[in-house]
Amino acid sequence: EAGVTQSPTHLIKTRGQQATLRCSPISGHTSVYWYQQALGLGLQFLLWYDEGEERNRGNFPPRFSGRQFPNYSSELNVNALELEDSALYLCASSLEPTNQPQHFGDGTRLSIL
């Protein structure tokens, strides 16, 4: 069974640009979660999607947004990139919202120059 896959592995952008990160959940999983892992700050919850709807978002500005497609894959968009957005962005999926556990991909390393 294929795990959670994320693309690209690395992404380099400059301040003010936009970044799009993609995630394919484990087959059969309907819930997708996004987390930011910044150096020294641990993992912070960003967004949760289930059945195509945004169910919850963390304490991040509106320039962080995303969507979930009918095939349950998801993308995270970050607009007006700032230096502090440099981090590892992790996607996780679960079988259904109330059925933990969450399984993580290996992330997209976003570097802002």
Partner 1 sequence: QQQVKQSPQSLIVQKGGISIINCAYENTAFDYFPWYQQFPGKGPALLIAIRPDVSEKKEGRFTISFNKSAKQFSLHIMDSQPGDSATYFCAASGFGNEKLTFGTGTRLTIIP
Q: 86 or 97: whose CB is closer to partner 1?
A: 97
Return d(Cα 24, Cα 14) in angstroms, integer: 26
- Say if CB 57 and CB 49 are below 8 A apart: no
Return d(Cα 27, Cα 80) in angstroms, integer: 33
- 50-59 long-range contacts, Cβ below 8 Å, gap at least 24? 50/96, 50/97, 55/31, 55/97
Provide the minimum distance between the beta carbon of 16 and partner 1 in the complex, in angstroms, as a whole number.
28
Which positions touch partner 1 (CB under 8 A)? 4, 31, 33, 35, 41-45, 48, 55-56, 58, 90, 92, 94, 97-98, 100-107
Provide the minimum distance between the beta carbon of 77 and partner 1 in the complex, in angstroms, as a whole number.
19
Q: 31 or 68: whose CB is closer to partner 1?
A: 31
Q: 80 or 110: whose CB is closer to partner 1?
A: 110
Provide the minimum distance between the beta carbon of 30 and partner 1 in the complex, in angstroms, as a whole number.
12
Token pair belonging to 81: 């990139």
Q: 66 or 107: whose CB is closer to partner 1?
A: 107
